[in-house]
Amino acid sequence: MLDSLEEVHGRVTGRRRGRQYATEHLNSALFVSLAAEFQGYCRDLHNGAAAALSDSLGVGDPRAIIFRAALVRGRNLDKGNAQPASIGADFQILGMALWPHTYAAYPVLGPKWNETLTRLNKVRNAVAHRNDPQLVAVKREQPLDLATFRRWRRSLNGAASGFDNVVGAYLKDTANVGWRA
C-alpha cells in the first residue's frame, strides 16, 4: 500500500521537486498510512509472540488457548495508536520490557526509532482528527513531505527488524521458543 501511494504521489507531482500544492492531502495520506501499517505490524508481532508463548504449553492444550486469549485481551494496539508507551505496555503483558530490551540491543537506533514513532503519531493525530493548530505545530517541527515520509519509513522498517530480533531473543530466553520473524 505504501509503495502504491508513493507511485500515485510521483504521478501527481510529475516527480518534480518543490512545493506542489496539489500534493498536501496526498502527503497527509502517506503519513496516516505509515502509522496504520506500523500499528498493524506491531499487532502482528504481538500476536505471534503471544502464540509462541501459549504454544510453549503444548499445542492443543486447553490452557494454551486461555493463556493466549489473556495475553491479547484489552491490548492497546487494538484500540489506540501505536505510540511507544502503548506498544511497550502491550509487550509488558507478555512479560517483556520491549523498549529497554530494544535500547540495550540498539543503543543508537532504539531512541531514534522511538522519536520517529512519537513524531509520526503526532502527525497522524493532527491529520486524522483535523486538528489544525496541532497540524501547524507538527509542520514547524518537520516538513510533511515525501522526503520526511521516506526517512520515517526507513526508520520504522529498521525498528520492525530490530523488534523482530529483540522479541525473538526474549522468546528464546523466556520460553525456549524458536522464532522466525
Average pLDDT of the chain is 89
The total domain count for the chain is 1
Structural domain for 74, as ranges: 2-175
Residue at 159 is within a domain: yes
pLDDT at 111: 98
Residue at 181 is within a domain: no
In angstroms, the CA 38 to CA 31 distance is 11
**Residue 31 to residues 22, 37, 55, Cα–Cα distance (Å):** 16, 10, 36
Using DSSP, state whether 81 is helix, strand or coil.
Answer: coil
Residue at 63 is within a domain: yes
Residue at 123 is within a domain: yes
* Residues in Cβ contact with 137 at an 8 Å cutoff, skipping those fewer than 6 apart: 122, 126
pTM: 0.87
Residue at 152 is within a domain: yes
Angle, vertex CA 167, rays to CA 80 and CA 159, nearest 5: 65
Are the beta carbons of 5 and 30 closer than 8 angstroms? Answer: yes
Burial of 171 (0-12, 13-18, 19+ CB in 10 A): buried
Residue at 180 is within a domain: no
Are the beta carbons of 1 and 93 closer than 8 angstroms? Answer: no
Residue at 87 is within a domain: yes
In angstroms, the CA 130 to CA 143 distance is 17
Reported as a single tens digit per residue, the pLDDT across 21-80 is 667 878 888 999 999 999 999 999 999 999 999 988 887 888 999 999 999 999 999 999
